[in-house]
């Protein structure tokens, strides 16, 4: 793998819509590029033109999201330059990386907001990253994604990527949509949304979905199922607007894991099936046995309720308050491969054969078998977040003062390991006649814990924006944060606390930027920021010896950005060069000591769009980057590239509108995605080969109300790998992107 990559790359930056800060855009009216409005990244959520923003931000309308046909929330993030999203694990449990920030999995540098407030203060806990808590449906108006920029100062101080989802709002006109979706893998889904007026100035939007399927990789049962309901109430005032929402979700799907890379195992393979979804594990010092349904996979069963109040007062004062309350369960049940497949004869008690634990079938000695860990993670979370700010305009100077607070907690119960040999086949059953299987205490490692954690974040921030000239704007932001954690861990489930934590530390983050407009619709910006990754519960468990040694476990993150932006009636180009230096820790297996490292990354993000007069639109998106581990407690890693992230990736998305008699139309569209090779681990010992994937779609507006949409994902059924075996990089296991699938939707708009 080469350390210096140079490729001109391009892809999706879909046409967006203009809207005032609190107004959901109308998908039927596509905004001109120079009119695109963003609200994320400003201290009070005040609307600014995208071309005027002094940071790198991507916005996607509801129609643009539909054209991308994401299989999950994390799948949508692939349309954001600088982001590498591994959504191959299913509907939940993605791995999301940004701008070369190091990581082994989950999404430690991703925050997901709804209506400007984070869903959960910790970006990542083990087996839970923010995108798991959010499901896409017809209630979403648009998404914005901010990389770097002002992130270290505002909201929860996330230095990496903040994605903000804004809900549709009602108006004086009653309107809605009813949509039925099916697929070639027997998906059955119904979406509905309706909005309108309750009274003068008071509006509603309600919507949701019900869904069920055996999964893109057929598990033999309905392995993906769920439902969601959202209500958003908006009140317009003489001097502003307020809205209040609640979203209730119960949605989960099978957890797709790395599979054996041997002949006969293809992209349809999944460990789970009817023969092995029900299983018992033993845990704790007494070997307590309990049965679980591993077909439940990963998901979210909970709710997010909150609101947003934005007001303008006399003498140039603006007030903003964004808040939410999140509570629910994010459990994980999975069949996790451990090591390479072997012939049954090598592990069978009689050296020749073994029997199926369910079917009683006799398997011969040349049958491939593999140790599969039956992992159970029960996780209950709760949080309340509030972000309040006041802004005052003083001639050429705008001053903002803010107070961000969050109280959060997580209760965990884990039993990891629990290995047992299974037949290497889709839904391969467990075996008897193998000592390791029949006596589970002799079958490899186990890691059992029970933990309770409470935390709080209090941050004061201030932002100054000064219009030095008509064309030059300077800004400065400072955040002072207090971070408290009370955490206790019972490792081994023996009833004793062996890792107690009482943590109270402060940190300061800052950002400074300059924006110069070359013309009314083009400009350049420069930005530097210094932020932090604060420690959460898992950081203390994995780095407990350092915590006892007096280490504050705060990792420093420095970023530098230089950007160019150009927007016109029918084209736009946003290019951002970045350099960052990130401290981090990685753990190969839960409970093992962490490796501390410093990683540097430099790259270029391209985000472009061109609309031709004859109905053709081309969206372009690319990232070129180079990473290097410059310091590490494991000296052998120094000089290596950061694991899992490609040196380049690009997407090209054309769409073509065909007008029909009567004024209706057909839109044909597709996406060509190409990514570079990646390393399996920081050791740089094994490669994940690059791949090119093609998606196609068509939308037919049959009448003004009736429409049809067909989406084909991975047209050529490409078998691209997103990761190897994260616990054993030399084992011949890997996780594939999703196989070819087709979805058909018929919708009625009113």
Ordered domains of the chain (ranges, CATH) = 33-749 (2.40.170.20)
The DSSP bridge partners found for residue 461 are: 402, 479
Please, what is the end-to-end C-alpha distance for the chain in angstroms? 53
Sign of CA dihedral 449, 92, 644, 77: negative
Whole-angstrom distance, CA of residue 324 vs CA of residue 384: 6
Task: Please list, residue by residue across 366-399, b when 16 or more beta carbons sit within 10 angstroms of its beta carbon and e when fewer do.
Answer: ebbbbbbbbbbbbbbbbbbbbbbbbbeeeeeebe
Strand 161-167 relative to strand 110-114: parallel, antiparallel, unpaired? parallel
- Residue 9, SS3? coil
Distance CA(112)–CA(250), nearest Å, equals 18
**Which residues fall within 8 angstroms of residue 519, CB to CB, at 6 or more apart?**
none
pLDDT for the residue numbered 22: 34
Question: For residue 594, what is the DSSP state?
Answer: P
Instruction: Say if residues 273 and 335 touch (Cβ distance below 8 Å).
Output: no
Stretch (H or E) spanning 64: helix 62-68
- The Cα 296–Cα 271 span in angstroms is 13
Q: How far apart are CA 163 and CA 147, in angstroms?
A: 9
Q: The sheet that has 733-736: what strands, in order across it?
A: 259-260, 733-736, 721-723
CA-to-CA distance for 57 and 565, rounded, in angstroms? 11
Neighbours of 692 (CB within 10 A): 12
Burial of 456 (0-12, 13-18, 19+ CB in 10 A): middle
Among residues 179, 143, 177, 188, which one has the least CA distance to residue 161?
A: 143
- Are the CB atoms for 145 and 50 separated by under 8 Å? no
In the block, tokens 């629910």 appear at 328
Round to whole Å and give the CA distance between 146 and 129.
17
- Give the list of residues 6+ apart from residue 147 with CB closer than 8 angstroms, or none: 55, 56, 57, 80, 81, 82, 83, 98, 99, 160, 161, 576, 578, 605
pLDDT on residue 579: 98
Please tell me whether residue 596 adopts helix, strand or coil conformation.
strand
Q: What was the pLDDT predicted at 16?
A: 29
The pLDDT value given to residue 587: 78
State the pLDDT at residue 563. 98
Contact 233, 202 (CB under 8 A): yes
| Residues paired with residue 233 on neighbouring β-strands, in sequence order | 204, 244
Mean pLDDT by groups of 10 residues along the chain of 750 residues: 36 29 38 76 90 94 92 95 95 93 91 97 94 97 96 96 97 97 97 97 98 95 97 97 98 94 81 95 91 96 98 92 98 94 95 96 96 96 98 95 98 95 95 88 82 98 97 98 97 93 98 97 97 95 90 96 95 97 84 85 97 94 97 95 96 95 92 96 91 97 96 95 84 92 97
* Residue from 58, 52, 62 nearest 81 by CA: 58
Reduced DSSP (H G I as helix, E B as strand, rest coil) percent helix, strand, coil of the chain, to 5? 5, 55, 35
- Number of residues that make up the chain: 750
Residue 111: the pLDDT is 97
For residue 76, give the 3-state DSSP assignment: helix
Phi, psi of 292 (to 5 degrees): -135, 155
Tokens of 30: 């596509």
Give the Cα separation of 81 and 571 in Å (integer). 17
Quick one: pLDDT at residue 349?
Answer: 95
Place of tokens 């709002």: 169
Q: What is the number of alpha carbons within 13 Å of residue 452 lying toward its C-beta?
A: 4
Residue 474's SS3 state is strand
φ, ψ at 295 (rounded to 5°): -70, -15
């Amino acid at each position: 793998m080469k350390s210096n990559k140079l490729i001109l790359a391009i892809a999706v930056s879909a046409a967006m819509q203009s809207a005032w800060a609190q107004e959901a855009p109308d998908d039927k009216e596509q905004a001109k590029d120079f009119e695109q409005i963003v609200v994320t990244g400003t201290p009070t959520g005040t609307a600014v033109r995208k071309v005027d923003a002094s940071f790198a931000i991507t916005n996607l309308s509801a129609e643009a999201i539909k054209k991308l046909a994401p299989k999950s929330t994390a799948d949508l993030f692939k349309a954001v330059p600088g982001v590498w999203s591994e959504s191959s694990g299913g509907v939940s449990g993605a791995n999301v990386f940004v701008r070369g920030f190091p990581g082994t999995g989950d999404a430690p540098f991703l925050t997901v907001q709804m209506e400007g407030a984070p869903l959960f203060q910790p970006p990542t806990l083990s087996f839970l990253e923010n995108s798991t808590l959010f499901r896409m449906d017809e209630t979403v108006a648009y998404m914005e994604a901010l990389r770097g920029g002002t992130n270290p100062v505002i909201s929860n101080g996330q230095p990496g990527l903040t994605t903000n989802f804004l809900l549709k709002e009602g108006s004086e006109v009653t309107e809605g949509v009813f949509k039925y979706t099916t697929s070639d893998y027997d998906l059955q889904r119904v979406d509905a949304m309706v909005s309108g007026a309750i009274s003068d100035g008071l509006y509603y939007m309600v919507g949701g979905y019900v869904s069920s399927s055996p999964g893109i990789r057929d598990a033999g049962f309905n392995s993906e199922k769920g439902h969601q309901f959202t209500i958003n109430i908006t009140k317009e005032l003489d001097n502003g607007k307020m809205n209040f929402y609640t979203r209730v979700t119960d949605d989960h799907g099978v957890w797709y894991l790395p599979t054996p890379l041997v002949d006969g195992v293809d992209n349809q393979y999944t460990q789970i099936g009817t023969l092995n979804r029900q299983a018992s594990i033993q845990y704790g010092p007494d070997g307590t046995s309990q049965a679980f349904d591993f077909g439940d996979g990963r998901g979210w069963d909970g709710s997010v309720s909150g609101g947003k109040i934005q007001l303008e007062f006399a003498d140039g004062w603006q007030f903003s308050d964004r808040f939410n309350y999140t509570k629910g369960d994010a459990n994980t049940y999975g069949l996790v491969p451990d090591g390479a497949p072997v012939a049954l004869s090598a592990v069978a008690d009689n050296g020749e054969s073994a029997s199926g634990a369910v079917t009683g079938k006799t398997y011969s000695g040349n049958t491939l078998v593999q140790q599969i860990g039956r992992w159970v993670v029960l996780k209950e979370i709760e949080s309340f977040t509030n972000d309040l700010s006041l802004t005052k305009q003083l001639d050429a100077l705008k001053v903002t003062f803010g107070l961000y607070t969050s109280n959060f907690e997580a209760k965990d119960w884990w039993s990891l390991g629990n290995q047992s040999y299974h037949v290497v086949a889709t839904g391969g059953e467990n075996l008897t006649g193998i000592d390791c299987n029949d006596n589970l205490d002799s079958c490899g490692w186990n890691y059992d814990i029970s933990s309770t954690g409470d935390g709080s974040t209090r941050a004061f921030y201030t932002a100054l924006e000064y219009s030095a000239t008509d064309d030059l704007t300077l800004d400065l932001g400072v955040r002072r944060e207090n971070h408290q954690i009370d955490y206790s861990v019972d490792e081994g489930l023996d009833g004793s606390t062996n890792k107690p934590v009482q943590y109270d530390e402060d940190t300061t983050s800052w950002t400074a930027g300059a924006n110069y407009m070359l013309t009314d619709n083009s400009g350049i910006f420069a930005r530097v920021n210094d932020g932090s990754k604060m420690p959460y519960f898992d950081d203390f468990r994995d780095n407990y010896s350092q915590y006892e040694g007096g280490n504050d476990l705060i990792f420093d993150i420095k970023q530098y950005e230089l950007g160019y932006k150009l927007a016109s009636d029918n084209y736009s180009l946003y290019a951002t060069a970045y350099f960052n230096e990130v401290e981090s820790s990685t753990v190969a297996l839960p409970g093992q000591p962490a490796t501390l490292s410093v990683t540097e990354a430099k790259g270029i993000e391209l985000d472009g769009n061109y609309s031709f007069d004859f109905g053709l639109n081309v969206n372009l998106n690319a990232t070129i980057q180079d990473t290097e581990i410059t310091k590490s407690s494991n000296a052998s890693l120094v000089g290596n590239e950061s694991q899992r992230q490609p040196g380049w990736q690009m997407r090209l998305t054309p769409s073509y509108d065909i007008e029909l008699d009567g004024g209706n139309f057909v839109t044909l569209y597709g996406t060509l995605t190409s990514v570079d090779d990646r390393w399996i681990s920081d050791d740089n010992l094994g490669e994940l080969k690059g791949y090119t994937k093609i998606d196609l779609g068509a939308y037919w507006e049959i009448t003004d109300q009736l429409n049809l949409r067909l989406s084909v994902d991975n047209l050529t059924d490409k078998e691209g790998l997103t990761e190897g075996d994260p616990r054993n990089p030399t084992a011949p296991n890997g996780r594939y992107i999703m196989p070819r699938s087709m979805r058909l939707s018929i919708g009625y708009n009113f």
